[in-house]
Structure 1
Amino acid sequence: MSFLSRIMVLKSRAHFSAGGYNRPSAAFGDGNFQGAMKQRGRQARNRLALVITGFTVIYAIIGGRLVQYGFDSPETVSSIMPADRLMASRPDILDRNGEILATDIRTVSLYAEPHKIVDADEAVEALATVLPDLDVRGTYKKLSSSSRFQWLRRQLTPKQQSQILALGIPGIGFRPEKRRFYPGGPTASHIVGHVNVDNRGIAGMERYIDNQGLADLAAVGMTSDQNLEPVRLSIDLRVQSIVREVLAEGIKKYEAIGAGAVVLDANTGEVLAMASMPDYDPNTPAEGAEEGWLNRMSNGTFEMGSTFKTFTTAMALDSGKVTLKDSFDARYPIRIGGFTIKDFHGKHRILTVPEIFQYSSNIGTAKMADIVGIEGHKEFLTRLGLLTRMQTELPEVKTPSQPHEWKKINSITISYGHGVSTTPLQTAVAGAALVNGGHYIPPTFLPRTREQANEIATTVVKQSTVNDIRYLLGWNATHGSGKRSLVPGFDVGGKTGTANKVVNGRYSNSLNFNAFLSAFPIDNPQYVVLTFIDAPKTGEGGGRTSGSNAAPMVGEIIRRSAAILGVKPKFGADGSALLMSY
C-alpha cells in the first residue's frame, strides 16, 4: 500500500470513529429534519406556481391585445386611405359597341416613413436622379418631419419603381393602387370625364357613376378590387372620333378659338357623339386646365343667333295664327325702345313665311313673334326646354339665362336669337322635337330604346308643325344659307345662325358665334347634327358667317358618319337609283 493510500485509510477511520455520518448530532432530531425538508418542498412548489401564474397572465395580456388589434379598424391618417380602398376598382366605361373608353390599371405609389429615414439630404438627392421633376424642398421637408407617413409620388411607372428600388433607400416603400386609363385620350374627354389621384370621379360620366352610389360605397369601405359590371354609354366611338377630327380641322382652317358639335338620335334622345374644343387628355387632366376643361356644348351658354328663328317659326305655325302661305312686310326696319331692328341682307319687300326663313329675315321673324305675344313666346320656349336647366346624366350642365322681365323688345330680339343664352346641346334637343314627330325627349348618354324614349317623351308641337318645319329646313338647305351642308344622297336640312359675340358687355361687329342646326334625312329625320364655331376669321368662299364654316362642318360630319350610323343614301328623283355610272 502506498503512502498516500495509508493516509486516506487513517483519515476515514478517524472520521467514522467520531460519529460524523453514522447518526445525526444531538442538536437535530429525526422529526425536525423531516419538517425542514417539507418546508423546502412547499417553498419550491409555491415558487413554481408563482412562475406559472406570471407566464399565464403575460400570455393572457398578449392574447387579449391581439384580439383587440384584430377588431380595430386600420390606422389611417389624412394623407392615406386604407389599402383596400386604394385597390378598389371602378367599372370600365364602354361605348355602345363595347369599345373601352376608360379602365383601371394596377400601379404603385411611393411613400416614406420619415422616422426611419437615416439621412434626408441623401435620400432626396437619390430620388431626384430617378424623378427629375421632384420638388426637392418639399420632399426634404416631408422626409425630415416627425410624421410616420408621407406620400412622395403617386402612380409611378414600373420603370420608376424599379429604379427607386435599386437605390436601396431605407424608410422608402411602395403601395399598390389603381390608376384610371383612357385609351382614346382626348377623343371623348368631356363626356367620359376624369378622376382624381385617389381614383374618384370628378367630371363627366366618371362623376355621374360616383354620384349613383359608388362614392358612398367606397367611403364606407364596401368596394373591393374585384371587377365591376361595365357601364355602357350611348356614344359611338367611331362617330365621336370623326366629330372631334372635324372640329380640330375647322378651328385650324377657319382660324377660330373654339368649336363644338353633337350628333343626336332624334327618336331616342341618345347622344351618339359630342365634342367641345379646346379639350384635354383625361390621362393628364392638369395639362388641360382652364380652357380645356370647359365643356362648351352643355356647360357653356351662348346666344344661338338665327337658329332660334326655327323655334320662332314653329311657335307661330303651331299657334294656328300663321301658315306657310302667309306674308309679312319686311320693307322697313322696326324701331322700338330706342333700337332699330333690320335685316342683314334685306330684300326690302313683302316676304312669305318660307322666304322669311330662307333669307333669315329679322323683321319678318319678329312680326311672327309679335302675333303670338310675349307670354306665348316665353311659354313655347320653356316647353322646348330652352329656358330651364337641361336634365341629363352629365353633371356639367349650365342653366340658360333670360331677361328677368320679358318686354316686347325682349320678345322681338329673342325671336331671332339675341337676348337669351342657352347651351348648344339644348338647342339640338329642342330642334329634334320639331322634326321627330313633335316629341321632346331629354338627352341621354346611356343606351335607350325607342320604347323607353316614348315613355318619357312629351308632345310639344302638332304633327302639322313638324311637317312644315321639315319642309322649311330642307328648303333652306337647298335654296338658302345651308347649301354647304348638303351631302349627296342624304337629304340634309338645316338652319344657320350667325350671332355677334358679346365683348365687354357690347356686341362686337368683328367677332361672330356661328352655329348650324340640321337634321337628316329631312323627310323622316333619324339624326340631328349641330355644330358651332367660335370667333372664326374666315370661311368657305372668304366669308365668316355660319353658312361658310359651321354648315360645311355639318356636311363633313354627315358625309363621314352617315354610313356608320346605318343611314342608307338615296339617289335619283325617287330615291331608287343606288348606282351611278361615270
Structure 2
Amino acid sequence: MAKIADSSFLRRTSSIKKHGTSAIRLRGPGRSRIFFAMTIFVLVYGAIAGRLILLGLQDGDPAKRFLAAQNTVAQARPDIVDRNGEILATDIKSAALYAEPRKIPDKDEVFDGLISVLPELDNPTIKRRLESNALFTWLKREISVEQRQAIHALGLPGVGFRQSNKRFYPGGQTVSHILGTVNVDNQGLSGMEKYVDQAWLKDLQELGFTQDRMMEPVELSVDLRVQHAVRDELRRSMEYYKAKAAMGVVLKADTGEVIAMISLPDFDPNNRQQALEKERMNRVTGGVFEMGSIFKGITVAMALDSGTVKLEDSFDATKPIRVARQKIDDYHGKRRVLSVPEVFIYSSNIGTIKMMQKAGVPAQQEFLKKIGLTQKMKTEMPGVARPLLPPKWNELAAMTISFGHGLGVTPLQMAVAGATLVNGGKYIEPTFLPRTKEQADELATQVISPETSEILRYLNRENVLRGSGRRAAVPGYDVGGKTGTAQKVVNGRYVEGLYLNSFMSAFPMSDPEYLVLITLDEPQKVEGQHYATAGWNAVPTTASIIRRIAPMLGVVPDFADDAETIPVSYQNRN
C-alpha cells in the first residue's frame, strides 16, 4: 500500500493503541490480540461513520447531495513512475459539466449556448436531458480549462462545473499495455492502473482518505528508456517485414523484474477508446501462442537434468519420425546422427523428440509444470491468459510439444521459463514492481541444477556463434539465444509460410543479466532474403535492440579474446 504524506491519521492510530493498552492493562498474548482487533474495528468503522455524518451535513439540496456522493469518483490517483523516477502516469485538473434542468428557465437558450462552445453536444440525447424535469444530469465529464471559461462567460442558468481529476500519460503509447487505462471516473480498468486499485487505492478512496492528500508515487520495474528503444525497433521491424503484430519482453534474469514489455499495435491511453479495439490487445500477457523451436531449450534442459541424456550423447536424425499417420521431419535436415549440441544448433525436431522420449512423457509434464508453462502465470498484471493445453497429452502430443507445437503459452510465460534456463536454474515469478536480488532469492524455486543451466548457456552461445542466431551477434555483449519459427494454424491446419517468429536470447551469456524475447507475427520475406523464418527477421531485430539497450542498462562490453565462449564440462554427471 502506498504511503500517505499526511501522517496525522497514523499518529492518531499509534496514540490510540498506546493509551488504550495502558488503560485496560490486558495481560497475555491472547488478550492483546483481541484488544488490537477491537481497536482496528473501531477505527475503521469510526472512519466510515464520520464519513456518513459529513455527507449528512451537506446542503439539503438533492442535487448537491448527489455531487457530494460522487466525491469518491474521479478522486486523485498516485503518480506512476519508472525505476528511474520518470513520470509515466499522473493526474491533471479537469472539469465536469453538469446541468440542473429544473433551474433552467429557457432550455433552448442553454442548449444553443452549450453547443456554441462544445459542438459535440449537439445531439438529441443532450437536448432530452436539458428538457427533462431531472434534478441533476451530466452533460460532459471532461472539458478543458478553456472550454470551462468560455461556458462560464455565457452565464447560462442551471449549468455548473465540478472540479475533477483526469489521468494523463506523458509518454502516450510508449508504456500503454503496462499502464493500462482508467475510466471517466478515474478508476483503473486495465494494466497496472487496475492493479493499484485492487491492491489498496480503492479501499482508501472508499474511506475518504485520498481527498486533498498527496500520495507517494507507485514505482514500477520498467525502464522508460529501454521501453522506448524496444518499441522503436519493433515498430521499424514490423513495418519493414510487413508483420501484422510484434511483441517484446526484456526481463532481468536474476530478479524476474519486467524492464520492458511491448505489444504492437498498441494504443494511446490518453484516448481510452483505442484500447477497446481488438487488434490492440496486449498479446504478451493476454495472448497464447505455440512458440515453436525456442521451446527446444526447455526439452533439452528437461532431458539433461533428468539424467537420461548427457551432453556427449548422440541421436539418429537420418529419417523422419512417423506416428499416427503423421510424419515429423526436420526443416533443414542433416540426415545424419547429431550430437546434443548439434540437435540444438541445427534445431532438429527429430533429435529433440528422441531426447524427450528418453526422459518420458510424465517427466515432460512434470517439468513443464515446474517451469510455469502449464498453469496461469502469477504476476501483478490483470488479464493474464491461461495456457492452452492439449486435450489429450499422449505420445504424439508430447512429441509436438517437445519442439514447440501443441501447447500455447503467453510470451511473458515463455520469457520467464527462458530466464530460468540461463540464470542458474531458478524459476522466479515475474513482477512489474521493483524487486531486489535478495527478495527474488526468497521467492525462487530451483527447477534445474546450476550445471544444467551452464550447459544451456553454452548451447545458446554456440547457436549465435555458428547456428541460426548468427545475426544476433553484438560485439562485446556475449549474446546467446534460440530461434523459433512456428507455423500458424488456420481452420485447424498448420499453414506453410505463415509463421510466428521468435528469438529468445540473453546477455552477457557468460553471466546473464537480461533476457530478451522478440516475436514477429506473420513477417514477410523481403528482397534479398531466401526465407521468412526467424533467423532472417526476429534475430537481427534482437541485435538492434541489444545494441541500443545494453549501454542504458549499464552492461559493460567485454572485447577480450577469450570472451567468445563459455567453458562447460563434458564429463559424465551422475
CA shift in 2, pair 1:435/1:225, >3 Å: same
Contact 2:74/2:186, CA 8 A, preserved across alignment? no
- Deviation of 1:292 after TM superposition, in Å, equals 5.2
Instruction: Provide the rounded CA distance (Å) in 2 between the counterparts of 1:379 and 1:553.
Output: 34
Q: Report what 1:247 is aligned to.
A: 234
Question: Which residues of structure 2 form unaligned runs of 5+?
Answer: 1-52, 565-574
Q: Report what 2:39 is aligned to.
A: none
Which of 148, 156, 174 is the aligned partner of 1:161?
Answer: 148
Q: Report what 1:494 is aligned to.
A: 481
SS of the residue corresponding to residue 314 of structure 1 reads: helix
- Deviation of 1:84 after TM superposition, in Å, equals 3.4
Q: Report what 2:109 is aligned to.
A: 122
Q: Report what 2:23 is aligned to.
A: none
Instruction: Provide the rounded CA distance (Å) in 1 between the counterparts of 2:487 and 2:523.
Output: 11
SS of the residue corresponding to residue 120 of structure 2 reads: coil
Q: Report what 2:557 is aligned to.
A: 569
Q: Report what 1:425 is aligned to.
A: 412
- Deviation of 1:81 after TM superposition, in Å, equals 6.2
- Post-superposition Cα deviations, 1:46-75, rounded to whole Å, max 9, x if no partner, equal xxxxxxxxxxxxxxxxxxxx9995289995
Residue correspondence of structure 1 range 461-480 to structure 2 within 5 A: 461-480=448-467
CA shift in 2, pair 1:348/1:574, >3 Å: closer
Q: What's the TM-score, normalizing by structure 2?
A: 0.86
CA shift in 2, pair 1:81/1:546, >3 Å: farther
Whether 1:406 aligns to 2:396 is no
Q: What's the TM-score, normalizing by structure 1?
A: 0.85
Q: Report what 2:249 is aligned to.
A: 262
Residue correspondence of structure 1 range 201-240 to structure 2 within 5 A: 201-240=188-227
CA shift in 2, pair 1:468/1:77, >3 Å: farther
Instruction: Provide the rounded CA distance (Å) in 2 between the counterparts of 1:550 and 1:115.
Output: 64
AA matched with 2:505: S
Instruction: Provide the rounded CA distance (Å) in 2 between the counterparts of 1:67 and 1:337.
Output: 74
Contact 2:55/2:69, CA 8 A, preserved across alignment? no
Which of 78, 95, 99 is the aligned partner of 2:82?
Answer: 95
Instruction: Provide the rounded CA distance (Å) in 2 between the counterparts of 1:171 and 1:119.
Output: 10
Instruction: Provide the rounded CA distance (Å) in 2 between the counterparts of 1:88 and 1:489.
Output: 50
- Deviation of 1:449 after TM superposition, in Å, equals 0.5
- Deviation of 1:327 after TM superposition, in Å, equals 0.8
Instruction: Provide the rounded CA distance (Å) in 2 between the counterparts of 1:419 and 1:190.
Output: 27
Contact 1:74/1:82, CA 8 A, preserved across alignment? no
Whether 1:389 aligns to 2:376 is yes
Instruction: Provide the rounded CA distance (Å) in 1 between the counterparts of 2:260 and 2:351.
Output: 35
Q: Report what 1:54 is aligned to.
A: none
Higher Cα radius of gyration: 1
Which of 291, 295, 314 is the aligned partner of 2:278?
Answer: 291
> Percent of aligned pairs with the same residue?
52
SS of the residue corresponding to residue 311 of structure 2 reads: coil
Whether 1:197 aligns to 2:197 is no
Instruction: Provide the rounded CA distance (Å) in 1 between the counterparts of 2:287 and 2:428.
Output: 21
AA matched with 2:196: I
AA matched with 1:549: N
Instruction: Provide the rounded CA distance (Å) in 1 between the counterparts of 2:128 and 2:325.
Output: 66
Q: Report what 1:538 is aligned to.
A: 525
CA RMSD of aligned residues (A): 2.1
- Deviation of 1:125 after TM superposition, in Å, equals 2.4
Contact 1:541/1:548, CA 8 A, preserved across alignment? no
Instruction: Provide the rounded CA distance (Å) in 2 between the counterparts of 1:79 and 1:303.
Output: 52
Q: Report what 2:288 is aligned to.
A: 301
Which of 536, 548, 563 is the aligned partner of 1:560?
Answer: 548
CA shift in 2, pair 1:516/1:75, >3 Å: farther
CA shift in 2, pair 1:68/1:163, >3 Å: closer
Contact 1:190/1:293, CA 8 A, preserved across alignment? no
Q: Report what 1:520 is aligned to.
A: 507
Instruction: Provide the rounded CA distance (Å) in 2 between the counterparts of 1:74 and 1:366.
Output: 75
- Deviation of 1:509 after TM superposition, in Å, equals 1.6
- Deviation of 1:201 after TM superposition, in Å, equals 0.6
Contact 2:501/2:521, CA 8 A, preserved across alignment? yes
Q: Report what 2:28 is aligned to.
A: none
The alignment covers a number of residue pairs equal to 511
Instruction: Provide the rounded CA distance (Å) in 2 between the counterparts of 1:325 and 1:75.
Output: 82
AA matched with 2:187: R
- Post-superposition Cα deviations, 1:426-446, rounded to whole Å, max 9, x if no partner, equal 111001111111100101111
Whether 1:338 aligns to 2:325 is yes
Instruction: Provide the rounded CA distance (Å) in 1 between the counterparts of 2:321 and 2:126.
Output: 69
- Deviation of 1:203 after TM superposition, in Å, equals 0.6
Higher mean displacement: 535-544 or 243-252: 535-544
Whether 1:144 aligns to 2:97 is no
- Deviation of 1:219 after TM superposition, in Å, equals 3.1
Contact 1:383/1:460, CA 8 A, preserved across alignment? yes
- Deviation of 1:131 after TM superposition, in Å, equals 1.5
CA shift in 2, pair 1:541/1:562, >3 Å: farther
AA matched with 1:474: R
Whether 1:375 aligns to 2:376 is no
Contact 1:88/1:226, CA 8 A, preserved across alignment? no
Whether 1:316 aligns to 2:303 is yes
Contact 2:423/2:512, CA 8 A, preserved across alignment? yes
Contact 1:279/1:291, CA 8 A, preserved across alignment? no
SS of the residue corresponding to residue 255 of structure 1 reads: coil
- Deviation of 1:169 after TM superposition, in Å, equals 1.7
- Post-superposition Cα deviations, 1:140-179, rounded to whole Å, max 9, x if no partner, equal 0110111111111111111111121222221111000011
